[in-house]
Structure 1
Amino acid sequence: MRFALSAEQNDFSAALDDYLSTADCDAAARAWADDDLGPGMKLWHGLSALGLLDLLDSGGSLVDLVVAFERLGYHAVPGPWVETAAVLPALAIGSGGRLASVVLPPHVPYGLDADVSDLRLLLVDDGVHEFEPGERLKSVDRARRLFRPEPGARIGDGVPLAFEHGALATAAQLLGAGEWLLATSVAYAKQRKQYGREIGSYQAIKHLLADTVTALELARPLLYAAALTASARDVSAAKVAAGQAASLAARTGLQVHGAIGYTAEHGLGLRLTKVRALVGVWGTPAFHRGRVLA
């Protein structure tokens, strides 16, 4: 049996990549962090036209979802995509093009973009509740606009798969962000010269980049296995591996780029903070390791 993406899935990934590569997602993420939602909403409508919002509701699989969220992570697309495109279908709620904010304590304690979301859902033991956005909080990733939830009326029953969908989509975003960090670091290592040589020709840099490639490629099969089974163990293994690989890619990117990696203008900074935030959301590494051990 051959385990590989289908031609249709590769085409879908390429279509998303083509669109996002020309959309200046970094500028949209910075604007989103400053409450200028226009560029981000333009991305939202463009990706909706490509079928991303209704992917699972229109017969797509979790593998298709992972393909899409890798691209979202690669391009640092802002907005509550996990909540809308991954979690809502598990709750049998269609988005209808609306933004959704989902809170699932203790793993997701705050509502992402709750102030501009049309659907605000709080998932607790006794079911699904509405909530209103309360105090605004800060995230290490400025593009993650977080709000403390104020619980409202109960509107339905909870669905266990909602958490697995959210964790899986977040793991895919982490893998995508790690891929961008690696690709950008490799390109920079081929251009930047020190002592008359490209820094990528030095053995120490080669080892850093090779370790990052290995970590990302080892995380990938775990991610797609989790998309096939949707089991708690496999989703947790994928979340841990993708988080570790993306964190390594972030550290490597910062070492390779040096001081330029600290500048706000460079896309590296957007991914560094995004990886830092996503590693802990939809389940911390300690929680997911515990599920695998159990």
Structure 2
Amino acid sequence: MRFRLTEDQRALRAGVRQLLERRFDREALWGAAEAGGSGRAGGGPRLDRGLWRALGEAGFFALRLPEADGGVGLGLPEAVLVFEEAGRALLPGPLLATHLAAGAVPGAATGETVVTAVDGTLVEWLAEADVVRGDATGALPLRSLDPLTPLHRVPARQPGPRGPVATLLTAAEQLGTAARVCELAAQHARAREQFGRPIGAFQAVAHLCAGMLVRTETARAAVYAAAVTADPVDIAAARLLADEAAVRGARDCLQVHGGMGFTWESEVHLQLKRAWVRTHRTGGVTESEEILAAALAAGEA
């Protein structure tokens, strides 16, 4: 399958990137990370309601709602592009749950209402949410690995709204992280010098960067294709590839940066921590593996 973005889709992606660079720049990212890095169980940054409303005004949450219902009237491929940019920027907040609630929860589409959802035993941004989809009774705060994603744990029970779209949009966010860490690694490999040469000239570093690029572009092809077919098996495969590209890519990016990558001032560790947290969403790797295994057993994949 060949997937080539249209002019409108490229303009949408560029517009979202510009919006995020303007409303959630590096200074805002580090301000949010500092607020969430206190180590307090259940702590984390306060959700920027102004940013949330700006996302609503830009159509982030209402992207797939029909125009007759006040939405933008676009489809899953466009949503994938938007969530990829959100993942690249490390945009905080329950983006997925609020997006999926547009049209079902008043105010979600416009960003006036913040929605979160019970996904398995974890709930993101519970303390900041106006509406919780699913049963969060007995939720206990956790010390989140990601300082930009406060978490609560609930007793094991039936999760809130979940499905292929949630899985695919999570994969799109992971793709954004994979692309960003690949970009950061390449920048550092060109700028950092050892023995009078850029470290990217050394074979070991070049191999790391090449592997990151291959995994990212493989995941991109799978995610974009799944956005077109909307097939649950394609989506499961895309999720597995995107999770690997994000987590392994961020770890390899740390290796390229050396000791600098482990310091608080580096963006790389934030990308890795967010990628780890996302792997537990919407059933995680296990659910996608089971979908693929069932399809293979039935001769459908």
TM-score range, shorter chain: 0.7 to 0.9
Distance 1:287 1:186, change over 3 A: same
Contact 2:122–2:153, Cα closer than 8 Å, also in 1: yes
Per-residue deviation, 1:248: 2.2
| Count of aligned pairs | 275
What does residue 71 of structure 1 align with?
Answer: 85
CA distance in 1, matches of 2:277, 2:187: 25
2:299 aligns with none
Q: Which runs of 5+ in 2 are unaligned?
A: 38-43, 66-70, 295-301
Q: Hey, what does 1:26 align to over in structure 2?
A: 29
1:168 corresponding residue in structure 2: 168
Amino acid at match of 1:119: V
TM-score by length of 1: 0.86
In structure 2, relative to structure 1, the CA distance for the partners of 1:244 and 1:11 (3 Å cut) is: same
The residue that corresponds to 1:154 in the other structure is: none
Task: Decide which structure has greater strand share.
Answer: 1
Report the equivalent of 2:74.
60
Amino acid across the alignment from 1:174? Q
SS in 2 for 1:282: coil
Q: Secondary structure at the match of 2:153?
A: strand
C-alpha distance in 2, partners of 1:261/1:32? Answer: 20
The alpha-carbon deviation at position 142 of structure 1 amounts to: 2.1
Residue 182 of structure 2 corresponds to: 182
1:101 and 2:116 correspond: yes
Which residue of 2 is the match for residue 155 of structure 1?
none
RMSD of Structure 2 on Structure 1 (CA): 2.4
Amino acid at match of 1:143: L
Aligned to 1:88: 101
Stretch of structure 1 that moved more, 64-73 or 3-12: 3-12
SS in 2 for 1:115: helix
Letter in 2 for 1:137: L
Cα 1:27–1:48 shift into 2, 3 Å: farther
Matched with 2:5 is 5
Selected match of 1:139 from 144, 150, 170: 144
Matched with 2:17 is 17
Q: 1:37 and 2:46 equivalent?
A: yes
Q: How far does the alpha carbon of each residue in 1:13-65 deviate from its partner, in whole angstroms, 9 at most, with x for none?
A: 10111122233252254156254426x33332222222102111121211111
SS at match of 2:209: helix
Separation in 1 of the partners of 2:217 and 2:19? 25
Corresponding position of 1:273? 273
Q: How many angstroms does 1:149 deviate by?
A: 4.3
Secondary structure of 2:216 counterpart: helix
1:259 shift after superposition: 0.7
Residues 169-204 of structure 1 deviation map (CA, whole Å, 9 limit, x = unaligned):
110010001111010110011110111110011111
TM-superposed CA distance for 1:72, in Å, is: 0.4
Distance 1:117 1:269 in 2: 26
Match in the other structure for 2:212: 212
Looking at structure 2, the residues matched to 121 and 180 of structure 1 have their Cα atoms a distance apart, in angstroms, of 31
Residue ranges of structure 1 left out of the alignment (5+ in a row):
123-129, 152-157
**Quick one: distance in 1 between partners of 2:237 and 2:287?**
11
Query: Partners in 2 of 1:242 and 1:65 — Cα distance?
Result: 16
Is it true that 1:118 corresponds to 2:130 in the alignment? Answer: yes
Q: CA deviation at 1:165?
A: 1.7
Structure 2: how far apart are the matches of 1:182 and 1:271? 11
8 Å CA contact retained: 2:3, 2:225: no
Aligned-partner Cα distance in 1 for 2:289–2:193: 41
Is the CA contact 1:188–1:257 (under 8 Å) kept in the aligned structure 2? yes
User: How many angstroms apart in 2 are the aligned matches of 1:193 and 1:206?
Assistant: 14
